[in-house]
Homo-oligomer: A and B are copies of this chain.
């Protein structure tokens, strides 16, 4: 029995606080405290510990920490529509801001505008600190579960009737009304609206505000089609509108991404001049909207602000668990570019951008 069984060296266990403690000649709890901001450790001890930790490459095991504290510093982010650059931007903004506060994103991609995947119900398994939904809505069951466990939910760019859900959105109502007025002021007579999915409440709000505002100004007829927030869908919707017998000289699209599709179809398939023959207006002001290939007139919805507000809400909800859901509206502007005929008045230049304010 001289030969002892050799220990597995294969996947060397990551160093733990106990290892650090041994090396530094202190207890494991001292090490834990050294890595807990605000905990009670003498300065000298702390430094000794940090040095030892450094030496053996210790990294806090966040799984263990989460288990012990039941907080993970992870935020779940569900997103349905990453091919739309607007949401890519939102993800990026959220990611950077959360990173700066030491948190990370657990990413879920879901189907477009379906109420959040059953998949999402598993987020709770990860003890996430919060749940952000962009372009999706939470089911009632999910909301219930989250509320029971004190996990705040924020929806970006979608309304909610459920009382436990906070929302952050752009000026849906105002955007649609401004665009209606703007198009009328520009001399347009025949209007169409391309919505997202039929059950997207954001799209519904815009559609209703657009149609009823037009009506109140003497234009009761608006053609409606749905592009399902996809490029191909919006292209089809555009064809449908242009192929109908009714005249059209202005289309308002519920997103820039769909407006790009409309521009493509209008120009290439129908040979129309923009904006002479027809005007196209979007919502979002994604970076591509300013690219000259599109040069899209659009009502802005600043992704950075949406992200910022969403995180503010989360933080407040975490700090004050009792507090009820919050609703925030982020302001935008009607940014004027080449895809829509201009009225004679109410045009301002702000920060080098032409905007329209009724």
Interface assignment of A185: CB less than 8 Å from any CB of chain B: no
Interface assignment of A38: CB less than 8 Å from any CB of chain B: no
- A100 nearest in chain B by CB position: B119
Q: Count identical subunits in the complex.
A: 2
A104 to B109, CA, bound (A): 10
Interface assignment of A124: CB less than 8 Å from any CB of chain B: yes
A61 to B106, CA, bound (A): 15
Looking at chain A, what size class is its interface with the partner chain?
A: 35 or more
- Are A99 and B105 neighbours in the complex by a CB distance under 8 Å? no
Interface assignment of A62: CB less than 8 Å from any CB of chain B: yes
Interface assignment of A263: CB less than 8 Å from any CB of chain B: yes
| B-contact 0/1 string along A279-299, CB 8 Å cutoff | 000000001000111100000
- Are B109 and A107 neighbours in the complex by a CB distance under 8 Å? no
A326–chain B nearest beta-carbon distance, Å: 19
Residues of B within 8 A of A150 (CB): 10-11
Residues of B within 8 A of A264 (CB): 291-293
Stretch at the interface among A81-89, A193-201, A217-225, A349-357: A81-89
Say which residue of B67, B104, B122 sits within 8 Å of A107 (CB atoms).
Answer: B104
| B-contact 0/1 string along A96-139, CB 8 Å cutoff | 10010000111111000000000101101111000000000000
| B-contact 0/1 string along A258-270, CB 8 Å cutoff | 0011011001100
Interface assignment of A64: CB less than 8 Å from any CB of chain B: yes
Q: Assuming A11-B150, A63-B63, A63-B127, is B293 touching A106 (CB within 8 A)?
A: no
Residues of B within 8 A of A121 (CB): 59
